[in-house]
Structure 1
Amino acid sequence: MLIREAHLADWPLIWPFFHRIVAAGETFTYPTDLGEEEARSWWLLSAPNRTVVAVDEAGAILGTAKMNSNHLGNAAHIASASYMVDPAHSGRGVGRALCTYTLEWAREAGFRAMQFNAVVSTNAPAVALYRSLGFDILGTLPEGFHHPTEGYVGLHIMHRTL
């Protein structure tokens, strides 16, 4: 697996799984009816932020991550990131590779910590992955997310020092 910079030409290959994940309404705080143009502008970030894709040997996109400063001004030393793995490729270490990559990017870019603002508490695979990589749950916003089948569930704020 190779992780490389995402290009505008990658978007038509990202959009189908991005749209499926967002429309399911189970893991992201994005509107479930998010349109393609707006989604592209939210996901494909410009420098100094970054968006990458994980690709296999044949060049197929397995997943994607965006990384950025979580805050501005005197709090701009805290990074954040978001991840989407094509469900057809889940369970193959793509999410772990992307998360590890973003942690290394943040460290090299001079950030002091990484914080995730809204990890849906019922997203057990993501919570377990982040914990295994050293993230702690700082707090949970009770009923902060309206899950389509679980009802109102918590949103974790997760943090890791770099």
Structure 2
Amino acid sequence: MLIREATAADWPAIWPFFQEIVAAGETFTYPTDLTEEAGRDMWVLSAPNRTVVAVDGSGAVLGTAKMNTNQMGNGSHVASASYMVDPARSGRGVGRALCVYTVEWARAAGFRGIQFNAVVETNEYAVKLYRSLGFEVVGTVPGAFRHPVEGYVGLHVMHLAL
């Protein structure tokens, strides 16, 4: 697996699983009826922020991550990131590889920490992955996410000091 900067040519491969994940409404706070244009505008970031893809040996896109400052101004020393793995490719370590990549990016870029603002507490795979890499839940906003199956569940704020 190779993780590289995303290009405009990658978007047609990202959009189908991006749309599937967003429309399911289980893990992202994005509108479930997000248009392709709006999705691209939200996901594909400009420098100094980054969007990357994980690809296999044939060049097929397995997953993607976006990395950015968590806040502007006096909060810009903390990074944030979001991840999407093609559900057809889950269980292959793609999410872990993308997360490790973003932690290394944040360290190299001089960030003092990484903060995830809205990790759905029922997204057990993500919470377990982030904890295994040293992230801690520093707070949970009760009932802040309307899950389509579980009802109102909490959103974790997770942090990793760098």
Tell me, in whole angstroms, the C-alpha distance in 1 between the residues paired with 2:88 and 2:62: 8
Determine whether 1:71 maps to 2:87: no
- State the identity %: 75
Q: Deviations over 1:93-126 (max 9, x none)?
A: 0000000000000000110000000000000000
Determine whether 1:154 maps to 2:154: yes
Q: Deviations over 1:1-26 (max 9, x none)?
A: 00000001100000000000000000
Determine whether 1:59 maps to 2:56: no
Task: State the shift of 1:68 in Å.
Answer: 0.2
Q: TM (normalized to structure 2)?
A: 1.00
Q: Secondary structure at the match of 1:29?
A: coil
Q: Deviations over 1:11-60 (max 9, x none)?
A: 00000000000000000000000000010011000100000000000000
Matched AA of 1:92? R
Q: Secondary structure at the match of 1:114?
A: strand
Matched AA of 2:65? A
Equivalent in the alignment of 2:112: 112
Tell me, in whole angstroms, the C-alpha distance in 1 between the residues paired with 2:160 and 2:108: 15
1:30-41 counterparts in 2 under 5 A? 30-41=30-41
Equivalent in the alignment of 1:142: 142
After TM superposition, which residue ranges in structure 1, 4 or more long, deviate above 3 angstroms? Answer: none
Tell me, in whole angstroms, the C-alpha distance in 1 between the residues paired with 2:8 and 2:69: 21
Aligned positions, number: 162
Matched AA of 2:117? N
Task: State the shift of 1:149 in Å.
Answer: 0.3
Equivalent in the alignment of 1:128: 128
- C-alpha RMSD of the superposition: 0.3
Equivalent in the alignment of 1:28: 28
Tell me, in whole angstroms, the C-alpha distance in 1 between the residues paired with 2:58 and 2:132: 29
Q: Which runs of 5+ in 1 are unaligned?
A: none
Tell me, in whole angstroms, the C-alpha distance in 2 between the residues paired with 1:80 and 1:159: 9
Matched AA of 1:125? Y
Tell me, in whole angstroms, the C-alpha distance in 1 between the residues paired with 2:23 and 2:74: 35
Task: State the shift of 1:70 in Å.
Answer: 0.2
Equivalent in the alignment of 1:49: 49
Determine whether 1:99 maps to 2:99: yes
Tell me, in whole angstroms, the C-alpha distance in 2 between the residues paired with 1:95 and 1:48: 22
Task: State the shift of 1:135 in Å.
Answer: 0.3
Task: State the shift of 1:75 in Å.
Answer: 1.1
Equivalent in the alignment of 2:4: 4
